């Protein structure tokens, strides 16, 4: 089974999710998304798999959230996706993808729902 994790090694939830996968014998493809941000198309696919809107995947505590005015409800989904592509710190993490399903590792155990 191919498993991918969109990972930030500085995030405790991300580290915990990676450790949880490894403890289950899964060596996922690790995408350090701050270094290699997902494209807009990839992000839209992740959102569809997660069943989330772009706004639901936003990290609202980041400086970019305030600087870009993303709290404004008039900011549309495409503008939010583009902001996340250009400023990947805005993407909530970690995201795990396995067998055409995705889960947000908050808490890390949440990803168990998509694993066989």
Residues identified as active-site: 11
DSSP H helices, 1-116, are 12-23, 40-50, 63-67, 77-86
Please enumerate, as own/partner, the contacts of 7-11 that have beta carbons within 8 Å and a separation of 24 or more. 7/31, 7/32, 7/33, 7/93, 7/94, 8/32, 8/33, 8/34, 8/93, 8/94, 11/93, 11/94
């Amino acid at each position: 089974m191919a498993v991918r994790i969109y990972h930030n090694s500085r995030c405790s939830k991300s580290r915990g999710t990676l450790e949880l996968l490894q403890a289950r014998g899964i060596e996922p493809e690790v995408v350090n998304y701050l270094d290699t941000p997902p494209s807009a198309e990839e992000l839209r696919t992740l959102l569809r798999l997660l069943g989330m809107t772009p706004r639901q995947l936003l990290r609202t505590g980041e400086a970019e959230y305030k600087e870009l005015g993303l709290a404004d409800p008039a900011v549309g989904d495409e503008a939010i996706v583009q902001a996340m592509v250009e400023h990947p710190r805005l993407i909530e993490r970690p995201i795990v993808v396995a067998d055409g399903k995705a889960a947000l590792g908050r808490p890390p155990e949440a990803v168990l729902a998509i694993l066989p």
